[in-house]
């Protein structure tokens, strides 16, 4: 998604705004058409609103901004005073410089593309306890299933098993980024010397960082080798197999089918 910085300016003093963009636009149109009626139409406002703006500007200004003209071929009209012309010229100059400034900021947005992506991910709402952003490093499409290999920011790799239809709908491609969701209750823990969980495609090594106990379950948070955190939900009985000891190394295993993928457009 392409982002740009937008904004506008107005002229003000210590008491507040003196001229806002809509008023300056009206002055520009008066200078162009020499008629309040035509200027109001060109500015997209009513004739009454145009006159109220003019009266307000004239009342608040030290000198007249707009003055009536009489006689002449057109039967009279309105025009900017020299002071009003100077205001418009000043505003146009400031507006041009302001647009250049906004263009420079828009160009710099590319430097913050990663921040923008993070804000997208951070705003995603999900019930899954574990949420990671992964880069697709391999796609093996063997209908009706599709195996997706992801690399996390910490260097760990995950494997997700989804349907070929889902792979097509998500428009997954090598090098693309996806959101990987892993429910904490689908993860099985084992000691590092235990190799009995080989049926699980995903095996991540980490150590206990913290835990939260209740009467029926324990929520463990593991710190993985690359620095990412992984939450694991254990029943009270299963929790008895692992001493709640900070730094205890464990292997977190889960099936590829337990990994849910979400793509961002």
Q: Which residues pair with 13 in a beta bridge?
A: 16
Alpha-carbon distances, residue 258 vs 94, 180, 186, 265 (angstroms):
58, 10, 7, 23
What is the model's pLDDT at position 41?
93
Structural domain 11-110, CATH architecture: Orthogonal Bundle (1.10)
Q: What pLDDT does residue 195 have?
A: 60
Q: Where in the chain is the domain with CATH 1.10.10.10?
A: 11-110
pLDDT per position in the chain (265 positions), as tens?
556 777 777 766 565 556 678 888 899 999 999 888 999 999 999 998 998 888 888 777 778 888 887 655 545 678 898 988 988 888 888 888 888 888 877 776 655 555 555 555 555 555 567 888 889 999 998 889 999 999 988 889 999 999 998 888 888 999 988 888 898 888 998 887 766 656 788 999 999 998 888 888 888 899 998 888 999 988 876 656 778 888 999 999 999 999 989 876 5
Comma-separated ranges of CATH 2.40.50.100 domains in the chain: 124-262
- Structure tokens belonging to residue 160: 């997700």
Confidence at residue 20, expressed as pLDDT on a 0 to 100 scale:
75
DSSP class per residue in 136-148: EEEEEEETTEEEE
Task: Note the pLDDT of residue 93.
Answer: 87
Q: What is the pLDDT of residue 108?
A: 67
Cα Rg, the chain, nearest whole Å: 33
What class, spelled out in words, does domain 124-262 have in CATH?
A: mainly beta
Counting DSSP H helices and E strands in the chain, the numbers are 7, 14
pLDDT confidence of residue 222: 93
């Amino acid at each position: 998604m392409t982002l740009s910085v937008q904004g506008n300016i107005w002229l003000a003093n210590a008491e507040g705004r003196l001229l806002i963009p809509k008023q300056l636009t009206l002055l520009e149109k008066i200078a162009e058409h020499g008629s309040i009626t035509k200027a109001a139409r060109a500015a997209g406002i009513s004739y009454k609103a145009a006159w109220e703006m003019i009266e307000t500007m004239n009342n608040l200004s030290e000198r007249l901004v707009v003055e009536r003209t009489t006689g002449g071929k057109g039967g009279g009209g309105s025009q900017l005073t020299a002071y009003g012309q100077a205001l418009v010229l000043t505003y146009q100059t400031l507006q041009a410089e302001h647009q250049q400034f906004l263009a420079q900021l828009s160009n710099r947005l590319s430097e913050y593309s990663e921040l923008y992506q993070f804000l997208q991910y951070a705003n995603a709402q999900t019930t899954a306890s574990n949420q990671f952003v992964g880069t697709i490093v391999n796609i093996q499409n063997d209908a009706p299933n599709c195996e997706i290999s992801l690399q996390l920011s910490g260097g760990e790799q995950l494997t997700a098993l989804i349907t070929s239809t889902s792979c097509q709908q998500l428009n997954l491609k090598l090098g693309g980024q996806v959101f990987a969701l892993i429910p904490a209750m689908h993860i099985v823990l084992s000691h590092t010397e235990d190799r009995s969980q080989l049926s699980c495609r995903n095996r991540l090594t980490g150590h206990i960082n913290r835990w939260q106990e209740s009467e029926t379950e324990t929520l463990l948070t593991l710190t993985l080798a690359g620095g990412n955190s992984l939450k694991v939900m254990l029943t009270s009985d299963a929790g008895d197999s692992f001493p709640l000891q900070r730094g205890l190394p464990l292997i977190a295993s889960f099936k590829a089918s337990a990994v849910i993928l979400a793509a961002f457009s």
